[in-house]
Amino acid sequence: MQHDSDDRGLVRAVLAGEPDAQARLIRRAADIVWTCCRALTGDEVSARAAFETALAAVQAENFACLWAFDGRSRLDTFLALVVRNLLGRDVLRRVAEDAAKGWSAFEALFGGELRRLVQRRLPGPFWTETRQDAYQEICAGLVADDCRRLAAYEGRGSPAGFVLHVADRLLLDFMRGLRARRRLPAAVMRLAPLDQELFRLVWWRGVREEDLGATLARRSDPPRSGADIAVALERVRRAVPADYQRPVRQIALSDAPEPEMGASPETLMLAGEEEHALTLAADALREAAERLSATEQLYLRLMLAGAEPMRAREMARLMQIPVEEVYRLRQRLMKTLKERLADHPAVKNWLASV
């Protein structure tokens, strides 16, 4: 395409030190930098300060950031990704130097992504109130010990990816705590282990009675008979207090990413192995993503940022590309990731564990 060759030519001229080309790039970058700063910081005062920092960073060391431009993406998209990373690194540096002063900038830049992370882990109206608690818990964990966790960033890789990885660990700890705070009714605690497990499945997780046999078959060896389950379930019904509130939702994978309280050591061990396998698979995805073009990286980040897939028109608006290009980009990206990850040992192990 014409703009691809024009972009490569402009970058070559800038890196060669041609003043006219550098002036053209600065004019072109200014709108992109301002748009990113305004969208990411949330208010005009913060945006202006971030704009000056980001534009100076783009020009630093004779536009050194442009050496990574390989022409596989539009220059505008590449610059947008560069600016996001520059802002992220600057904010994490400020947090490491002065946690109290740097935190407001951190929350302005990453707060939206953290809330979307919570939304993905705790979707739906059932968790509406809990999501705010989860967000506050993540923030508390990040600011603890003078932002020790954030100060561990060493400048390698995506700042947003680093922050979301740390935040997700804190979120999972919070979700474990939710389950740990639940207590069996006293009458149920006096029942047999099978009865207590049925209570957790039906009254806490909302598993339908017709699905109990299949669910328990994955948890016990030998499997429980239908007659045993029916008798035990009747005992539980008699023991549960009349005013006990049953959950209104049905079980879903997104509702229970962690093992239930009271699970056997074997179940907990398997769950830990599954989580470890998922972590390794996620690391493999991050490694694969770092080898994508700037356009593909930006598309992937935007696609993973929300609880629901982003519509093509909204994606096109944010990436400043035609809608048709969004569809082509998705097909190309899925093909690339499939080729790079299909035979990856970590991904294979994770698929085998679920």
For the segment 176-221, what is each residue's pLDDT rounded down to a tens digit?
776 555 667 888 888 888 888 888 888 777 778 887 887 777 656 5
The last residue of a domain, from among 23, 57, 73 = 73
Answer yes or no: do 246 and 275 share one domain. Answer: no
Tell me whether residue 88 is in a domain: no
Cα 201 off chain centre by = 28
Q: What are the Cα distances from residue 204, in Å, to 196, 246, 305?
A: 11, 7, 29
Answer yes or no: do 273 and 349 share one domain. Answer: yes
Answer yes or no: do 61 and 115 share one domain. Answer: no
Exposed/middle/buried for residue 1 (C-beta within 10 Å: 0-12, 13-18, 19+): exposed
Q: What is the pLDDT of residue 159?
A: 87
How many helices (H) and strands (E) would you count in the chain?
16, 0
Q: What is the pLDDT of residue 234?
A: 92
Q: What is the pLDDT of residue 39?
A: 67
- Rounded Cα–Cα distance for residues 8 and 16 (Å): 12
pLDDT bin (cut points 50, 70, 90) of residue 235 is very high
- Rounded Cα–Cα distance for residues 44 and 315 (Å): 24
Domain ranges, residue 5: 1-73
Tell me whether residue 225 is in a domain: yes
Tell me whether residue 26 is in a domain: yes
Tell me whether residue 217 is in a domain: yes
Query: Of 148 and 284, which is predicted with more confidence?
Result: 148
Tell me whether residue 79 is in a domain: no
Instruction: Decide if pLDDT at 340 tops 70.
Output: yes
Cα 150 off chain centre by = 16
Residues of the chain above pLDDT 70, percent:
75
- Rounded Cα–Cα distance for residues 218 and 157 (Å): 39
Q: What is the pLDDT of residue 337?
A: 76
Answer yes or no: do 246 and 269 share one domain. Answer: no
Query: Of 221 and 24, which is predicted with more confidence?
Result: 24
Tell me whether residue 85 is in a domain: no
The total number of structural domains in the chain stands at 4
Closest CA to 301 of 48, 116, 44: 116
- Rounded Cα–Cα distance for residues 262 and 195 (Å): 12
pLDDT in tens, 32-49: 888 777 766 666 777 787
pLDDT bin (cut points 50, 70, 90) of residue 2 is very low
Tell me whether residue 299 is in a domain: yes
Answer yes or no: do 349 and 289 share one domain. Answer: yes
pLDDT in tens, 253-271: 334 343 333 444 334 334 4
Cα 306 off chain centre by = 8
Instruction: Decide if pLDDT at 313 tops 70.
Output: yes
Q: What is the pLDDT of residue 282?
A: 64
pTM score? 0.51
Query: Of 224 and 227, which is predicted with more confidence?
Result: 227
The last residue of a domain, from among 182, 213, 231 = 182
- Rounded Cα–Cα distance for residues 116 and 188 (Å): 37
Find the mean pLDDT for residues 115-127.
82
Query: Of 98 and 126, which is predicted with more confidence?
Result: 98
Find the mean pLDDT for residues 5-14.
83
- Rounded Cα–Cα distance for residues 146 and 327 (Å): 44
Token pair belonging to 86: 């520059």
Answer yes or no: do 206 and 157 share one domain. Answer: no
Closest CA to 250 of 209, 294, 291, 195: 209
Answer yes or no: do 61 and 104 share one domain. Answer: no
